[in-house]
Chain A
């Protein structure tokens, strides 16, 4: 009796020790996992910080109002990037005009009209997902093969007796190529906004006797306007930063004149960065300008992305309130 009582106590003691040991090693494992994953997050943030710090430190001294409003001089070693900024604005405007309406219409159709299981809907969704994954250089090839060679040369043959006007890299072809590239961005953002519009609004509108068309365009789409704005902003940001799609469809290294028609070539900051960093005749002389151009490009895309985040956050908050 007494003997078994002692072993019982000993067993309990051992068990308690084992438990404490296990708790301790579990705590250690918990902490190791938290710290290890925390370190990976810090590394990601560090990458971003280092890139930004380097660009700001080397780019800020050269950045000035004159840099934004002057043309390049002396073989890109002096002056600014005014023509590149104008070129970008023109390209992005054309891209938005061509791409956003199509993207918005696609999202409206997918979310408001289409049956979710129809063959057309499914193929549109597959197409949009895959369009988002097509490498940007393939868009460049497509722009050259389709817009420049096929459409452009076709226009020249039909209207200009074969004189080369549209059958070469041009502002319009770069913008249209970029419009297709950014289509998924617009579609995804618009659809997300449409999804956030409460069903009750649609039902109320229909119950009041409004047609489907009136409901969609007078009730639902205005509610989703911030989502459309988000999509447009993100598309513009993407379009301003991409280089590969415009390499062969319209971007130029240096142009003495601003682009004055749809068939002109154009300069743009992103392409400027590429050319200055790889083909500069005098790397040290162009370096300050290169850094300043990168800084302009980063400020532009970051401002646009932050704006998109803010608009989207507001939209979500409002949607949460209504629901």
Chain B
């Protein structure tokens, strides 16, 4: 037996392990500490005198209103915390963003992986990744100062800032996410698939649409899921470009407000520990759980793709 390693060589492993566990600790702390600030909504008498879960989710008949509705007016004389305008707003903006970014992201990835020359690919990929490097506050700024005016001049929207403008701006942040994963998925399709299809007499478009695309679909699904997670939680773009009116409306051209933007816009002005503060942390917890679920599906899809394609190569 050789001289055994000094004690601290082995101690180093324990230090590394402890530091590595910090990622686990971090994610648990995040959930615990936002849930802790949201929890009084379930037991605190002071908070519950203003807001309960039922009051948030069930439309209420407020004094001065003709019919019952879900209203978000947290700083009016009678604070109203109806959550549906915010959920509807988040869904609207996210749907617009995905409707733009899925075709563009997947289409661009298809071109880069199937049609572009390798030299073009080497140039285009880093450029699209630069789009991912643009800070979201810059995209929000661009949507607010420039794009909103263009859209208004083009389509004559009543409100300059609306779900459509912020959704399109949001798609700029989502496109690189989908593009990167879709491109990787197309690239991971084994050559033997393509060769077999061609040998059977399939035309190129048939091979692309009926062999390559289905084989890459778990990876594309993963990209779409991660993009969806990003779109749901993204804050600065929607905060700056959506107009922030919490109204119940199905129209994409109305000013709208999302859950994330509500937290960002209102938290700075609330009383610590008050009903409004508690509700905003409750919204944060919802957002965390929603994105956690979406991302878990995405990660699962990535794993499945790797396993599926790995088994055949």
Q: Which A positions have Cβ atoms within 8 angstroms of B? A: 26, 29-30, 32-34, 36-41, 43-45, 47-48, 51, 54-55, 101-102, 105-106, 108-110, 113-114, 120, 123-124, 126-142, 144-146, 149-150, 180, 183-184, 187, 209, 211-214, 217, 237, 240-244, 247-248, 270-271, 273-274, 277-278, 287, 290, 294, 297-298, 301-302, 304-306, 309
Nearest CB of chain B from residue A56's CB, rounded to whole Å: 12
B24 contacts A123, CB within 8 Å?
A: yes
29 sampled A-B residue pairs with Cβ under 8 A: A29-B205, A41-B116, A47-B175, A48-B128, A51-B138, A109-B19, A113-B16, A114-B20, A126-B299, A127-B23, A127-B27, A133-B292, A134-B233, A135-B233, A135-B260, A136-B236, A137-B260, A138-B233, A139-B30, A141-B37, A183-B26, A211-B6, A213-B5, A242-B137, A277-B145, A290-B145, A297-B135, A298-B134, A301-B133
Cα distance A48–B108 in the bound complex, in angstroms: 14
A41: chain B residues at CB < 8 Å are 107-108, 111-112, 116, 124
Closest beta carbon of chain A to B259's beta carbon, Å: 9
Which B residues, 126 to 149, have Cβ-Cβ distances below 8 Å to chain A? 126-131, 133-142, 144-146
Closest chain A CB from B124 CB (angstroms):
7
Counting CB contacts under 8 A, is B103 at the interface?
yes
Query: Which B positions have Cβ atoms within 8 angstroms of A?
Result: 2, 5-6, 9-10, 12-13, 15-17, 19-24, 26-27, 29-30, 33-34, 36-37, 103-108, 110-112, 114-116, 124, 126-131, 133-142, 144-146, 172, 175, 179, 203-206, 208-209, 226, 229-230, 232-236, 239-240, 260, 263-264, 267-268, 272, 280-281, 284, 287-288, 291-292, 294-296, 298-299
Are B9 and A146 interface neighbours, CB within 8 A?
no
Residues in B whose Cβ lies below 8 Å from that of A242 = 135-137
Q: A124-B21, A128-B23 are in contact. List 14 more A-B contacts (CB 8 A).
A: A26-B203, A37-B108, A37-B115, A38-B111, A44-B104, A54-B142, A106-B23, A113-B17, A120-B20, A133-B229, A138-B30, A243-B135, A297-B138, A309-B126
Give A135 to B105 CA distance when docked, in angstroms: 21
Q: Is the CB of A124 within 8 A of B131?
A: no
List chain B residues, Cβ under 8 A from A149.
37, 272
Nearest CB to that of B115 among chain A residues? A34
Q: A29-B205, A109-B16, A110-B20 are known contacts. Are A44 and B281 too (CB-CB below 8 A)?
A: no
* Contact status A278-B144, CB under 8 Å: yes
Nearest-neighbour CB distance to chain A for B123, whole angstroms, equals 10
Q: Which residues of A contact B287 (CB under 8 A)?
A: 135, 137-138
CB distance from A164 to the nearest CB of B (A): 12
Of A144, A240, A242, A297, most B-chain CB atoms within 10 Å? A144
B27 touches A131 (CB 8 A): yes
Residues of B within 8 A of A30 (CB): 203-205
Most buried by A among B16, B19, B209: B16
In the bound complex, CA of A247 to CA of B106 (Å): 34
A301 CB contacts on chain B under 8 angstroms: 133-135
Determine the chain B residues whose CB is within 8 A of the CB of A37 once the complex forms. 107-108, 110-111, 114-115
Closest to A43 in B: B104
Top-10 shortest CB links A-B:
A135-B233, A241-B135, A40-B107, A133-B295, A213-B9, A37-B111, A26-B203, A105-B19, A109-B20, A211-B5
Given A37-B114, A141-B34: A102 touches B267 (CB 8 Å cut-off): no
**Residues of chain B contacted by A134 (CB below 8 angstroms):** 27, 30, 233, 288, 291-292
Smallest Cβ distance from B220 to chain A, in angstroms?
Answer: 13
Bound-state CA distance A253–B216 (Å) is: 47
Taking a contact as CB atoms closer than 8 A, the residue among B30, B106, B127, B140 that contacts A274 in the complex is B140
A120/B233 in contact, CB under 8 A? no
Given contacts A109-B19, A243-B136, A298-B138, contact A211 B9 (CB under 8 A): yes
> Which residues from chain B contact A102 at a C-beta distance below 8 Å?
19, 22
Q: Which residue of A lies closest to B126 (CB)?
A: A309
Q: Are B108 and A127 in contact (CB under 8 A)?
A: no
The answer for the CA separation of A64 and B218 in the assembled complex, in Å, is 49
Distance in Å from the Cβ of A145 to the closest Cβ of chain B?
A: 4
Asked whether A40 lies within 8 Å of B36 as measured between CB atoms, the reply is no
Chain A nearest Cβ from B19, distance in angstroms: 4
A68 to chain B, nearest CB (A): 18
Whether A145 lies near B226 (C-beta < 8 A) is: no
Given A135-B291, A274-B236, A298-B138, are A108 and B16 neighbors across the interface (CB < 8 Å)?
yes
For A248, list chain B residues within 8 Å (CB): 267-268
Instruction: Provide the residues of chain B in CB contact with A51, threshold 8 Å.
Output: 134, 138-139, 142, 172
| Interface-central residue, A33, A120, A180, A306, by most chain B CB under 10 Å | A33
A241 touches which one: B105, B136, B204 (CB < 8 A)? B136
Name which residue of chain B comes closest to A272, CB basis: B137
In the complex, what residues of B have CB within 8 A of residue A277's CB? 140-141, 144-145, 240
Known contacts: A127-B23, A137-B233. The answer to whether A55 contacts B175 by CB under 8 A is no
